[in-house]
């Protein structure tokens, strides 16, 4: 028995190595299907325009092909890019996104969701609107608010034309007047959250609140009769 095991051992070893190589080769050529979350990139947005609709950042892709190729493939290698160069304002539909995938020819896209994207381009405009100070609370008893002023008096908002037309003002964070007895000035941030618009540069305003004491009213001045 021992003689049978040791006889022609070199040939048997080579046969074993060859069998293992063939097994790895066959396994490597087997087709697999793998899922990826692929980044969708919008390129070359025309100057003076912006995207004003929700576009998915990721696309779910399933790819089938040889195991050896898929093993070395990562989502970063197969991003999808959509070129917006020279497009005019309006809605453009980009179909068959699988054709924009950068993958080896041996691989095949079996599923892609979404399979298309709509991109809406709008011109970027700007608009100057008044600033409104949001107040809370009341001065101490015997005092009243005489005036509330801001410097500057307006703020500039820029962004998608369709949204900008509905922007009528920019409001500040809350200014608390509770138990205040004297005039004050402070820098107050704006509270602005636009979907496709934003503040151009200025993020705060100087708020000047004038507080004065209330003069007591003489009953005689109210027209009452004193006995």
In DSSP notation, 58-110 reads: EEEEEEEEEHHHHTT--GGGG-EEEE-TTPPSEEEEE--GGGGB---TT-EEE
> What is the percentage of the chain residues whose pLDDT exceeds 90?
63
Residue 20 lies in a domain: no
Q: What is the pLDDT of residues 6-65, one digit of tens each?
A: 555 566 556 655 555 454 554 545 678 888 899 999 999 999 999 999 999 999 999 888
Residue 22 lies in a domain: no
Q: Is the same domain home to 99 and 128?
A: no
Residue 143 lies in a domain: yes
Instruction: Name the least confident of 23-32, 70-79, 104-113, 139-148.
Output: 23-32
CA distance linking residue 107 with residue 64, whole number of Å: 6
Cα 75–Cα 39–Cα 197 angle in degrees, nearest 5: 160
Q: 0.75 exceeded by the pTM?
A: no
Q: Is the same domain home to 59 and 129?
A: no
Residue 87 lies in a domain: yes
pLDDT confidence bin for 84, thresholds 50/70/90: very high
Quote the number of domains for the chain: 2
CA distance linking residue 65 with residue 31, whole number of Å: 5
CA distance linking residue 182 with residue 139, whole number of Å: 9
Domain end, chosen from 72, 95, 115, is at 115
Query: CA nearest 192: which of 151, 131, 150, 136?
Result: 131
Query: Pick the residue with more confidence: 87 or 78?
Result: 87
Q: Which structure tokens are listed for 51? A: 């995207």
Query: CA nearest 171: which of 147, 146, 187, 154?
Result: 154
Residue 17 lies in a domain: no
Residue 12 lies in a domain: no
Domain range for residue 143? 124-213
What DSSP element (H or E) covers 199?
strand 197-199
Domain end, chosen from 115, 148, 177, is at 115
Domain harbouring 110, CATH code: 2.170.120.30
Domain end, chosen from 92, 115, 138, is at 115
Query: CA nearest 114: which of 181, 38, 183, 216?
Result: 38
Reduce the DSSP state of residue 197 to 3 states and report it: strand
CA distance linking residue 115 with residue 133, whole number of Å: 47
pLDDT of residue 75: 80
CA distance linking residue 45 with residue 22, whole number of Å: 51
């Amino acid at each position: 028995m021992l003689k049978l095991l040791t006889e022609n051992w070199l040939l048997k070893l080579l046969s074993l190595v060859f069998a293992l190589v063939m097994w790895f080769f066959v396994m490597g050529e087997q087709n697999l299907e793998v899922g990826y979350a692929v980044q969708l990139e919008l390129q070359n947005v025309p100057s003076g325009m912006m995207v004003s609709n929700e576009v998915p950042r990721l696309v779910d892709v399933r790819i089938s092909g040889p195991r050896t190729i898929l093993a070395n493939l990562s989502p970063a290698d197969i991003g999808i890019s959509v070129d917006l160069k020279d497009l005019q304002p309006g809605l453009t539909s980009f179909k068959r996104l699988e054709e924009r995938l950068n993958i080896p020819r041996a691989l095949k896209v079996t599923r892609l969701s979404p399979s298309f994207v709509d991109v809406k381009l709008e011109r970027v405009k700007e608009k100057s609107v008044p600033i409104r100070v949001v107040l809370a609370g009341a001065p101490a008893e015997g005092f009243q608010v005489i005036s509330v002023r801001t410097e500057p008096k307006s703020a500039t908002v820029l962004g998608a034309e369709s949204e900008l037309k509905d922007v009528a003002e920019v409001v500040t964070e809350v200014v608390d007047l509770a138990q205040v007895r004297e005039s004050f000035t402070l820098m107050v941030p704006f509270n602005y959250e636009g979907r496709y618009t934003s503040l151009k540069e200025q993020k705060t305003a100087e708020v000047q609140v004038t507080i004065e004491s209330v003069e007591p009213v003489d009953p005689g001045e109210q027209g009452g009769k004193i006995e």
